[in-house]
Structures are given as structure tokens and as C-alpha cells.
A and B are shown apart, each in its own frame.
Chain A
Amino acid sequence: MIDIIYMKDCNDGKFINIKELEEIWDNSYFIKKFKNIEDFVSNEINLLDVNENWPDNFIMILDGDNIEVILGYLQSQKTLISYLQDSKCRVFVTIKEGGVNEDGYTYYEFEGMSPDHEYAQRSLDHYVQMNKIPKGNVVWMSPEYLIDNEQQKDFPFVQKFFNKWELQLDSIKQEYYHPHMLDIFKNGKNFSRPKHFYCVSSSPRGHRLDLINFLKDNDLLKFGNATFFSNAHGEIENNEFEILGDRDLKFDSEYYWEGRDKTGDWSYLPTYAINITQCFNSYFQLLTGSVYETDENCKFPFIFYNEKLWKSMITLQPFIFLGQPNTISMLKKFGFKTFHPLINEDYDKELNNEKRKVLVYDEIKRLCSMSIEEMDKWFWDMEDILIHNYNRLTEYGYEHYDEFISLLKEKG
């Protein structure tokens, strides 16, 4: 058995101690529908009361969304610091959604800034170094994939890629979409599809604005089903951006921030919802990452995988990705297949932000210039790849959880 103190940030800046196993299932570390992690939780985890005596060799998991809250908690726990210093426990920390909506899309923790910098004083680096905690005792679970693993040797803590959006979407797939998507896909061989592409970009970001302008300027919107800035997340006022396309999701936004909808069905929520009619009425997806701009000289280049890539795999569609470079090549590293040469994926290697955009736009233009007959043939030439990725999604989820379980079982 592994002793775990599980602390969850309830979005009010305070952590509560989770004592019931059923309550650790959410959208962060422990996501249901994967038998390996379900069995592990049922059979090998012993949840501890934070207020009772701590044994040696336990793990504290901090499940939070705000690095300041996490650091504030860590710094306030003097006994925990001494346990960490003595290697009597390990701490796992995460920010569920990564740094996408924080600090201009990058982690200052990764930037290797001067220790005197204001941000550095409030960083995980600073906490670990100041308290002289052995490296292996603090594990940062990040939904950002650091491209250059060599760089991680400079961190005073262990950084592990935790592909939570993939796990979350595959969990949704297993619960709501499998095997129906495969059946619809196979039935679709009898028909052509009316549109070339499908594109959903609910939250306004610079590269998405550029994409709309490109589609409008080149009269390409008619080739797709597209929804931009539908304000699904309630992040912006409607009148700040032109909303393009119809709102297609029926959900009550007042419940959204509480992470549920009135039916209790997660698949209704905008981040997880998949408009299967629009997907199966179009051939490929135009995906926009949450992050686009990349600093060619960045010391810690990373990739943030949001939910969109995984959604296109669930609906068995190829995609063009307007986002960070190397996203496609890393996917291949994870065992997925991509679409070169049927889609020219040279854009993936281009570090220059403007040049990358041009390469993506050229490919969109080329695909939209194809007739529906040509597109249909092009699409079905990728059948094996699409089915591979659909299946790989679940395999990868299991592998990811195997790694997580091994990590939990390691000694500090």
C-alpha cells in the first residue's frame, strides 16, 4: 500500500484534505475509465488524514490550479518541509490546466531567471533550493511537454509530463463516444461529406484572430463549418469579438465554472463536448493550439497539448495544427501517426512564428482547392492512420497511467 495525503484546492485558495477514495476522482491526477489506475486506487492506496501522525515514506499530492496557492501552502507547512528534507515523504504538485492562462503562457518557474527576480522568489525552484530539499522529493506534474529533456537536469525538482487533456478526453471517449464514432466513420464510406473542414476556437487568442482573417480574406469560410469566439467559456463579453458561426452547445453557462452541468454529464461541457454532426459532415479539422507564439531562443521550449488534438482523433479526422512547432513530431513520439505527405506537415518544424503561419495557410488553401471528390479519396487514403490514432488514444492513456503508477511507487 502507498500512503497518500491528498489535498485539493477548492478554488478558494485553501486546500482540503480528501479522505475518501471516491473523492480523488476528478479531472486532474485520477481520471476514471482506465482499469489500471482504477485498480491501483482501489487496491494500493491508503489515504491518510493530514492531521494525524505522519508515517515515513508517504506522498502528499497537491491538486491545485494556482501556483501561488500551492507555494503558499508548501511554505506554510514547516513539518512537511522537514519531512521532505529528510526524504521521509515526497510531494506531487500540479497546475491542472498548465500555464496557458497564467503569466503570458509560460512558466516563470522554467525560465531560469535570476534568483533575485521577484517571480523567482515565488517559484518552485526557490522553494526547493531555499529549503535544501533533495531533488526527487518534489515532483512537478505538468501538462506541458518539455521538448528538451536534457534541460531538466537543471531543475531542482523532478518534472514529469502529465498529459491530462489526453487522459480526460479519452475518458470521455470511452464513456460517451466509443464505439459509436467507429461505426459512424465506417458507415460514412457510403457518402461524401458536404464540407472540407471543421474549426472550433471558442476562446479568443491572437493566432485565432489571424486565422479567421486569413479564412475571410481568402473566401475560405464557405468550405468549412467554423465557430470562433462563441464565448462558450464565459471569458469575454460577446461584443468584444465578432462571433462567427452558431453556438452549437446546449449547456447552462452558470454551471460551467463549477465543472458540471445540470445533467451531471461532463460531455456537455464546452471543453469536452464534441459536435459529432459537424465533425462527420466535414473531412479535416483546423486545430488551433492554446499557445502559438514560440521564442526560438527559449531555454525550456515546451508544448502544451490542449483538448483539441484528441477530439479530432475521437472523430477520426485528420488535422492541420496552428500552434507550437514540434507538436506533430512529438505526437509521433507518443505513438500516434500523422498525415504527411497527404498533409504537408513541414510547418511543424518551422520555429519562426510568421513563417510557420504561412506554411499552415498554404496547406489550408491547397486542401480547400480540392474538389469534394478529390477530398473524399484523400480522406479515405488515411483510413488506417485515423483508426490507428483512435485506438492509440486509449492505449496511450493506459501507458501514461502505468508510468504515473510507477512514479508513485518510486522511493524518494
Chain B
Amino acid sequence: MNNVTFYFNNKKLENFNEIWTNRILFEKIQELKLTSPCDIFLIRPSYENDNPFEIIKSMDKTKKIILWYMDTLSEELYYLHKKEIRELEHNITIIIPDFHLNGYDLPYKVYNNYSMADCILEQQQLDRKLIKYFNKNSEKLYRQKHFLSFNGNIKPHRVDLLSFVLENNLLPKFDISFNSHFWNQAGQSLHLDLKSTSTYTSTKLNLPLYYNSYVDVVTMASSHSTEDFPRVYIDEKLYKSFACMKPFLIIGQYRTLETLKELGFKTFSEWIDESYDTEVDYEVRMSKIYNEIKRISNFSIKEMDELYFNMKTILLHNSSQLGIHIHKTDKKILGIFND
């Protein structure tokens, strides 16, 4: 008995088969020899009814309780949960993947985890020989496209990107998907590599596709963040760019690049105008990104190739930093149990 109980959907979790992220960390926690009991509630914010607070309130108040958010919280939900958390009288620790750049304003200690970085790292390790092979092969071949962008779910900033690409006749410069999570539905879709029948493939690396282009235009889960409540959420899409050694432009929340740098990653300001990252206004930020896409799309493939190989040191750094970032994060979280 290690005294740790995991809850998922407010039910005791028997195994981690259904858990898509942080699984390796959970297994490490299970191996710890804890002297006092600890209940860990895994919360999926996107599931409306995934609310553990009623159960927690009924629990012994001396127990150590961890609220472990598996996914990003919207601003509204965060405020709702904050209210609930403040009412708890337990020994609470919160683990959340969103970086709140002005702090969390909670009476408990908050730690950041990661969303699916561990799955991508695992895949990177599984595919390491092939990644090395594709890297080597890249020295022989020009890639066909300037940009790669995955936009499986429709979101406003993804619609904006696609509109920009179409209006500026940039489609031939892109490997781009749009609305591709939804097969056989009315409306326009651009399909790149998702199969209608396959199981969840977000953690797999489609290396032939990644190595067919030079720069990833990563459309994050959210582009919403404000000056009063600046937040950054990083998901698997960006981790895949690290694993596949791709430079990137980020269409997401402002200050994402700043957060990445704080986590030890490097970005591409020597070659790409990254001033978009400090621009809080969405329209202005997008306009700056569009200008960069336009500028880069004017490069010949040979120029793109030179640009790419000039970034090699940073790409290698980010590729190995992924593992370091996870290791550091895991160490901090495991430290909770030593307190």
C-alpha cells in the first residue's frame, strides 16, 4: 500500500489505461512509499460534469488532496473552480498545465504540469532512430513545402489562418489540414493525414509529413489571453515540433514564446520577427504573424533550406530540452510528496 488513491470522473481509478497524459508520472507516484494518505483527483476541464468538489467536501479534512488538471481551463471555469477551491478546508495542492503569468491568486501552492509532453517524448524516444534518419536524409533533399499547419478542430484563430492562406494564394506553400477531425460532415475540410477510422493519433509523429516542410505554423488550443489575466497553455502540437526538429511560428496566446524561453527552450528571433509574442491585441498579433508568413513564403526552397540549416543548433537544443523539461517538471511534482 502506498496510500495514494487516484480519482477520475470522481471514481477510484483502477489503472491508467484511459489516461492520455502524465501517465508515467502517475506510475512514479504510485511507487512512492507515503506515510500518510493522499487523494489525487484527475480533472478534465472540458468535461462539464467533471467536478470533484462535492466529494472532496465530504472527505476527512486532514487528508492531503491534489487537484490535478489534465487540460487547459478556460478563464470562466478557472474562476468557478477558484471559488470552490477557496471554500475547501483541506490540505490542498493544485497541479495545472496553464501558466498564469500574474500568479494564481489561490491560498494553496500551485505547480505546473505539462499536457502530453511526456507522450511526445515517449514517441520521440521510440522513433529516435527514424528521426535521426530523417535528419540525415534532409541533408540530401529539399523539402517540398514552406509550412506545415495542423488544424483538426475548428477554432476562430484557425479559421483566420486558413482564410489568410487562401486569400493570399499561399495554399501551395503549405501542408495544411483544417476541420480534419470531422469526417463526412457538411462543410469544408482539408485532410492531411488523419484517418477517419484510426484511433487517437495526436501523440504519434508522422515523420514523412513533418519532414516535407521547413517551418511549423502551430495553432494552439487557444489564442485567448488578456493583459489582466495573461495565461499560456502549451500542448502536444508544439512538443511535436520540438521532437521533429522544426522551427515554428505560434498562433496562440501572447507571451507563449516568453514562457517557452523560461522553460529552457530557444526560439528563432535571429531569423523570424517574433515581436508578435509581446502583442496582446489579437488582431495586431495575427497581422504580425501574417507578415512573417508572407515574407518567408517569398523565399525560394533553396533559401528555406539554408534558413532551416542555420537554425540547426537551436533545433537540436529544443529536441533534447523536451526531455529535460519533463524531468524537471516531474521532479518538482514528486517533491510535493516529500513535504
Interface residues of A (CB under 8 A from B): 180, 183-184, 187-188, 190-194, 225, 246-251, 265, 267-268, 273, 275-281, 372-373, 376
Contact = CB atoms under 8 A, between A and B. Distances in A.
Nearest to B180: A192
A225 B208 CA distance: 13
Nearest to B197: A373
A277 B143 CA distance: 8
Nearest to B190: A194
Nearest to A251: B140
- Interface centre among B183, B194, B209, by most chain A C-beta atoms within 10 angstroms, is B209
B63 interface: no
A191 B127 contact: no
B245 to A, nearest CB: 14
Contacts of B191: 192, 194, 372
Contact of A193 (B129, B133, B193, B197): B193
Contacts of B140: 249-251, 265, 267-268, 273
- Interface centre among A190, A277, A278, A372, by most chain B C-beta atoms within 10 angstroms, is A277
Given A246-B301, A278-B144, A184 B193 contact: no
A250 B141 contact: yes
Interface residues of B, number: 33
A275 B140 CA distance: 9
A146 B175 CA distance: 45
Given A187-B207, A191-B198, 7 more contacts: A188-B208, A190-B206, A193-B193, A246-B144, A250-B141, A277-B208, A373-B183
B204 A191 contact: yes
Given A192-B191, A250-B140, A277-B141, A187 B209 contact: no
Contacts of A225: 144
A225 B209 CA distance: 13
Interface of B: 127, 129-130, 133-134, 137, 139-144, 175, 183, 191-198, 201, 204-209, 211-212, 301, 305
B194 A278 contact: no
A286 B197 CA distance: 27
Nearest to B139: A250
Nearest to B126: A187
A34 B141 CA distance: 27
A187 B208 CA distance: 10
Contacts of B130: 180, 183-184, 187
A26 to B, nearest CB: 21
A280 B144 CA distance: 13
A142 to B, nearest CB: 31
A187 B129 CA distance: 13
A182 B141 CA distance: 20
B208 A276 contact: yes
Contacts of B195: 190-192, 373, 376
Nearest to A245: B144
Contact of B144 (A190, A276, A277, A373): A277
A225 B172 CA distance: 12
A173 to B, nearest CB: 13
7 contacts: A183-B129, A184-B207, A246-B142, A249-B141, A276-B141, A277-B137, A277-B211
Contacts of A376: 195
